[in-house]
Amino acid sequence: MTDTVNEEAADSAPSRGGFADRDPIFGDSPEGTDIWQRVPYNPDDYGPVEDYATDFDHADPNYNPNAPGVWKDLRESGCPVAHSDRYGGMWVPITHDTVHEVAYDTDHFTSRAVVVSVGRPGDMALPAPIGGVPPISSDPPFHGMARRLLLPPFAPKQIEPWEDEVRTLCRRLLDDMGGIVPGETVVDAAVQYAQHIPVNVIGRMLGFPEEDEELFREFVHVALETINQEPGTRTGIDDLGKYIAAQIADHRENPRDDLTSYLMNVELEGNKLSDEHVGGSIILLLIAGIDTTWSAIGSSLWHLAQTPGDRQRLRDDPEVMTFAIEEFLRAYAPVTMARMVKEDNDFHGCPMKKDDWVLLPFPAANRDPKQFEDADKFIIDREENRHAAFGLGIHRCLGSNLARLELRVAIEEFIAKFPNFELAGDTRWSVGQIRGPRELPVRILAD
Amino acid sequence: MQIHLDAEKCQGHNRCYALAPELFDVDDYGQAVLIVDGEVPTELHDKARLAASNCPEYAITITQES
């Protein structure tokens, strides 16, 4: 089907429709295969963004560090939907109303690609409406069936029992930081702490070797942060396909009680899932489950490093954590998704063309003063909080219960060990659709 | 006070179950289930309002509030 077949993995995995020789995802096939089409956009022709209303680029290195200011400027200048010629044409609803409307409108917007890049799925790419990484890339009616398979392992009562393991992991990471001299020791709360938590948990849920965690982080980086690289050169994505194919083969030979085996055995309308479907869903779980939660933990600690009052409140009144977690998620929502325009249509006066990208910045919706009182203010006990951090509508984050558990336990354990800490140097923010600190040096202070 | 859950609108955000477990349970798919027959006991009125005002999908409504 494509000439990017991975021979090594194809040899090791029995052919059953073959995940190993599946269509690559995320724009990773050479031009001309009809699987992914290079969009008419050369990043070199564009400089840094000067006007987000007409030249929006979420991959501009200045965007994530300053995103709340960008959204505020756009809203206040009366621009509910920004535009960009980048990526072959992209629209960006900014207000809660417009984000909400696109998220609910599966008639005019398709999810077959949810990460904006310089490649977009061609007409041959996806046996619609399944998509490469079901169910996030699926549209109704297939979406509902594929999603229903994955809901039970992520339902609240299945996730709750993971709390002890998450807590043990957090404590181990904090202990691994070694001797602390208050007022002097600087630790990196993103590199030494936040990034390890979700990767460890999802790896264990899938039944993958713990020593492969670094590999997963690299996959996630390539998939989400190298969106301006040429299709076919994003080699890390090819490696991800190989890796997953090998894991599926291993689970076929050695079935065990984990999420991978669950996916290989579960039935959809009386049939087991194809390897493509299993592999696509695993890629989704790996990618969606890692840097998203890591970002939420990092951003929350970034906030707490600057707000002694909020740290004290969490110490004095642990009950407030229920509301604090939701406020962290609202104010620092990490995830922006994307859609593609199905057919030419007019959206509030915006002439959207078939195959244009539409970014869905849920974090911007969460800062809309029309929806939230004092939207740019962090209110640790905010009682009314219909935030959209986990999306709105049928694609609500499948892992939201797990993410919330990891975020709560990670914050609880960090402040239990280090009640006082402050920023110590430059925070480095991610690039692209997932927003959060990638480097977060903090100085530990005396209790 | 009457509380109503629109199961069609529920997307399993799980906010109601977290905030008002006396009123809501979740099924095996993580979808909300109302466990009172619509009438909310007086001592749970605050929790009912909290659940309704935190549902991102506006799936919970309260009526006949005195």
pLDDT > 70 fraction of chain A, expressed in percent and rounded:
87
Torsion from C-alpha of A263, A268, A274, A278, nearest 10 degrees: -30
Alpha-carbon distance A275 to nearest alpha carbon in chain B (angstroms):
24
Residues in chain A: 447
What's the pLDDT at A21? 43
Alpha-carbon distance B9 to nearest alpha carbon in chain A (angstroms):
8
Structure tokens at A138: 């699926």
Q: Compare A216 and A67 and report the one with higher pLDDT.
A: A67
- Give CA–CA dist B18/B25, Å, rounded: 9
What's the pLDDT at A41? 87
What's the pLDDT at A9? 35
Name residues 367-386 of chain A within 8 A of B (Cβ): 383-386
For residue A100, pLDDT over 80 is answered with yes
For residue A406, pLDDT over 90 is answered with yes
User: What are the phi and psi torsion angles at A267 (to 5°)?
Assistant: -115, 140
- Give CA–CA dist A18/A4, Å, rounded: 13
Candidates B10, B54, B62: best to mutate against A (most CBs of A within 10 A) is: B54
Q: Are A438 and A64 in contact (CB under 8 A)?
A: no
**Yes or no, beta carbons of B11 and A151 under 8 Å apart:** no
**Yes or no, beta carbons of A383 and B53 under 8 Å apart:** yes
What's the pLDDT at A219? 81
**Yes or no, beta carbons of B19 and A322 under 8 Å apart:** yes
A69 CB-near residues (< 8 Å, 6+ apart): none
Tens of pLDDT, residues A344-386: 999 999 999 999 999 999 999 999 999 999 999 999 999 999 9
Alpha-carbon distance B37 to nearest alpha carbon in chain A (angstroms):
23
Neighbours of A50 (CB within 10 A): 8
For residue A24, pLDDT over 50 is answered with no
Range B8-41 burial, b when 16+ CB lie within 10 A, else e: eebbbbbbbbbbbeebbebeeebbbebeeeeebe
Whole-number mean pLDDT of chain A? 88
pLDDT confidence bin for B36, thresholds 50/70/90: very high
pLDDT confidence bin for A130, thresholds 50/70/90: low
B27/A contact by beta carbon, under 8 A:
yes
Average pLDDT over residues A312-328: 97
Q: Give the bridge partners for A227, in sequence order.
A: none
For residue A16, pLDDT over 80 is answered with no
What's the pLDDT at A83? 97
What's the pLDDT at A30? 42
For residue B33, pLDDT over 70 is answered with yes
What's the pLDDT at A62? 97
Tens of pLDDT, residues A230-272: 665 655 666 788 889 999 999 999 999 999 999 999 998 899 9
A344 CB-near residues (< 8 Å, 6+ apart): A351, A352, A353, A354
What's the pLDDT at A200? 93
For residue A67, pLDDT over 70 is answered with yes
What are the chain B neighbours of A101 within 8 Å (beta carbons)?
A: none
**Yes or no, beta carbons of A392 and B57 under 8 Å apart:** yes
What are the chain B neighbours of A157 within 8 Å (beta carbons)?
A: 26, 28
What's the pLDDT at A133? 78
What are the chain A neighbours of B18 within 8 Å (beta carbons)?
A: 322
**Yes or no, beta carbons of B28 and A155 under 8 Å apart:** yes
A82 CB-near residues (< 8 Å, 6+ apart): A52, A53, A54, A56, A74, A91, A92, A94
pLDDT > 70 fraction of chain B, expressed in percent and rounded:
97
| Measured CA distances, A241 to A203, A254, A282 (Å) | 16, 20, 10
What's the pLDDT at A134? 80
User: What are the phi and psi torsion angles at B61 (to 5°)?
Assistant: -130, 150
Task: Enumerate domains of chain A plus CATH numbers.
Answer: 7-444 (1.10.630.10)
For residue B57, pLDDT over 70 is answered with yes
Name the helix (H) or strand (E) containing A439.
Answer: strand A437-439
Q: Which residue range forms the structural domain that includes residue B34?
A: 2-63
**Yes or no, beta carbons of B27 and A155 under 8 Å apart:** yes
**Yes or no, beta carbons of A326 and B54 under 8 Å apart:** yes
For residue A25, pLDDT over 60 is answered with no
Q: Domain holding B57: CATH number?
A: 3.30.70.20
The pTM of the full predicted model, rounded to 2 decimals, is 0.91
Query: Structural domain tally of chain B?
Result: 1
What's the pLDDT at A447? 87
ipTM of the complex: 0.96
- Give CA–CA dist A274/A323, Å, rounded: 41
What's the pLDDT at A80? 94
| Measured CA distances, A422 to A42, A184, A382, A447 (Å) | 41, 11, 24, 12
